[in-house]
Amino acid sequence: MAGMWALPGLGVLCAAAAVAGGAVAAGAPTSAPSPPPAVDPGPGARAPGPPGPVRYAAPVSPLSPVRGFEPPPTPYAAGHRGVDLAVAPGQAVTAAADGTVTFAGAVAGRGVVVISSGDGVRTEYEPVRPAARAGDRVARRDPIGVVEGSHGDCAPSTCLHWGARREGAYFDPLTLLAPLGPVRLLPWRDAQARGCACRYTARSRSTDTWV
């Protein structure tokens, strides 16, 4: 063509340059996406703090122990792994603390309810006709059932056996009811009950207080 110069290899060079430019563009680092702007929660918002200590209450009222905790010398030896509380047949039983019901059913012919709390303590109640089911969340003093039948150590009287354990080891559940003073075991005033009653001296009082 008139006025046009034919340069051999020019098309090849242009194509190579285009490919090289694309490779550089593809390999070039890209900027990271900007983080979303922080949202102001407002002056009244507060971050949740750590959970507070678990608080306990007696599972029946009035609280009248008729037999105290007797730790066994070995894990499988005889002992009394809890306390027996004087109750009336059909009396309401409440959760001693906030927690989750991990068992509610019959054991050896008696109704048993077990509650696990956030501090690693498991409290046990028997003989109880459960009003709660395994998996239920309960709060302190929520009804969990009624006394049904009698604990063997209390017959012919009626009592509730209340136990507590942490990491598989049983301990005196009455020690959960803080603040209480030193424990003194004294004969219970009801002549029909067997065993002893626990009487405490409250730190804030100078007189003995039944709890």
Residue 38: what pLDDT? Answer: 57
- Please state the rounded mean pLDDT for residues 68-79: 76
* C-alpha distances out from residue 59 to 3, 77, 161, Å: 109, 27, 10
Residue 13: what pLDDT? Answer: 40
Residue 80: what pLDDT? Answer: 78
Q: How far apart are CA 39 and CA 19, in angstroms?
A: 45
- Write out the H or E segment, with its range, that includes residue 85: strand 83-86
Identify which has the larger pLDDT, 134 or 156.
Answer: 134
Single-letter amino acid code for the residue at 159: C
Residue 168: what pLDDT? Answer: 86
Predicted TM-score (pTM) of the model is 0.63
The SS3 assignment for 154 reads helix
Q: What is the pLDDT of residues 24-70, one digit of tens each?
A: 444 445 555 666 665 555 554 455 445 568 999 999 999 999 888 88
pLDDT greater than 80 at residue 190: no
Domains, the chain, ordered by start: 65-209 (2.70.70.10)
- Please state the rounded mean pLDDT for residues 108-130: 96
Residue 76: what pLDDT? Answer: 73
- Please state the rounded mean pLDDT for residues 108-128: 96
pLDDT greater than 70 at residue 96: yes
Count of CB atoms within 10 A of residue 117's CB? 22
Phi-psi region of 14 (alpha: psi -120 to 50; beta: other; left: phi over 0): alpha
Q: Cβ(120)–Cβ(57) under 8 Å?
A: no
- Please state the rounded mean pLDDT for residues 80-88: 90
- Average pLDDT over the chain reads 73
Residue with the two structure tokens 């309401």 = 92
- Please state the rounded mean pLDDT for residues 5-17: 44
